[in-house]
Chain A
């Protein structure tokens, strides 16, 4: 079993852990920018474990969003974990498994770990899957927490141009990954509408609720566009 755990760790360190870590480097810089300590930024990676939610949290704090509106925005942004968790747990399940084990396994669900696990787990023996998954996921979360701390440190220690580059990392990464993931009409419409609506809703709804309004209006319109396209 120990061998299986380490195989998971090794596979994560081969590339996936660094891809995720790279994406939260900018989160550390955003956290530094709003005056949060490195420990809180690293804790946000370990506990929230969702860089979009973290970007919303620290981006929203920087923009002056009210805390209740921010909690709702974070909550809405993480809804994808519901179907993702439902999809992956059957792969990890075995008889007499305790609920605590399932809750712990579900905590690691995030885009990269999820995609890689769906690809790697089915070829393993059923009793190898859980140890492999925990090895893989813990290595990924560990590297990511360390790189969050590094991003926080770098934001303060590097010259202006590099500091600007670190803060640019989060919007740049998500623009590209949203583009990469938008394969259907509904996804593309949601990306474009959310992007264009943000400045308009800031003027209309104020900076405390603009993100929420942009997400709800843009997402609903995108969903309807997708339905209309499907119905034709």
Chain B
């Protein structure tokens, strides 16, 4: 029984901690789809909080990562992020170009440091 609950636990987490808290806004959207201006002040605040929250998550993933990324020095992570942003800005504001530039930098720095 304990084994079963252990196996199912990740799925329970996905449904209870991920799916339900997220889906509620789509359901409310269905209910509110008549009325409520999309440019109201409360939604403006809510969007700002959501954006700051996502930026905070990104910062945590960069500053205190886990797994294989933990072995990459902080300076390499930020150098790769910087070159990724530079690639994005230089290549016609292409997100894909930025991601490729950042990933290539990180992988090269990691290989060079290890070797």
Q: Are A172 and B84 in contact (CB under 8 A)?
A: yes
The answer to the question of B90 belonging to the interface, with a C-beta cut-off of 8 Å to chain A, is: no
Taken residue by residue from 200 to 213, chain A's Cβ proximity to chain B (1 for < 8 Å, 0 otherwise) reads as: 01100000001110
Give residues in B with beta carbon < 8 Å to A: 7, 10-11, 13-30, 32-33, 36, 38, 43-69, 71-72, 77, 80-81, 84-85, 88, 93, 95-96, 98-99, 102-103, 106-107, 110-111, 114
Query: With contacts A39-B11, A52-B57 known, is A172 near B80, CB below 8 A?
Result: yes
Q: Are B114 and A89 in contact (CB under 8 A)?
A: no
Q: Are B65 and A167 in contact (CB under 8 A)?
A: yes
Q: Are A81 and B59 in contact (CB under 8 A)?
A: no
Interface centre among B22, B36, B56 (most CB of A within 10 A): B56
The answer to the question of A9 belonging to the interface, with a C-beta cut-off of 8 Å to chain B, is: no
Q: A172-B102, A180-B95, A218-B52 are in contact. List 8 more A-B contacts (CB 8 A).
A: A37-B10, A44-B14, A49-B22, A52-B57, A53-B21, A172-B106, A179-B88, A186-B48
How many A-B contacts if CB must be within 8 Å?
322
Interface of B, helix, strand, loop or mixed by DSSP:
helix
The interface stretch among A63-71, A118-126, A127-135, A136-144 is A63-71
Q: Are A219 and B84 in contact (CB under 8 A)?
A: no
Taken residue by residue from 31 to 74, chain A's Cβ proximity to chain B (1 for < 8 Å, 0 otherwise) reads as: 10111110110011001111011111101111100010011111
Q: Are A167 and B25 in contact (CB under 8 A)?
A: no
Q: Are A106 and B60 in contact (CB under 8 A)?
A: no
Q: Are A218 and B32 in contact (CB under 8 A)?
A: no
The 7 closest A-B pairs by CB, nearest first: A85-B29, A215-B53, A219-B49, A194-B55, A194-B52, A218-B52, A163-B68
Nearest-neighbor residue (CB-CB) of A37 within chain B: B10
A window 160-206: CB within 8 A of B: 160-180, 182, 186-187, 189-199, 201-202
Q: Are B54 and A168 in contact (CB under 8 A)?
A: no
The 8 Å CB contact of A56, one of B20, B43, B53, is B53
A contact residues around B54 at 8 Å (CB): 52, 55-56, 77, 174, 178, 194
Total number of A residues with any Cβ neighbor in B under 8 Å: 106
Q: Are A160 and B98 in contact (CB under 8 A)?
A: no
B22 CB to nearest chain A CB (Å): 4
A contact residues around B30 at 8 Å (CB): 85, 89, 99, 102-103, 106
A contact residues around B23 at 8 Å (CB): 47-48, 107
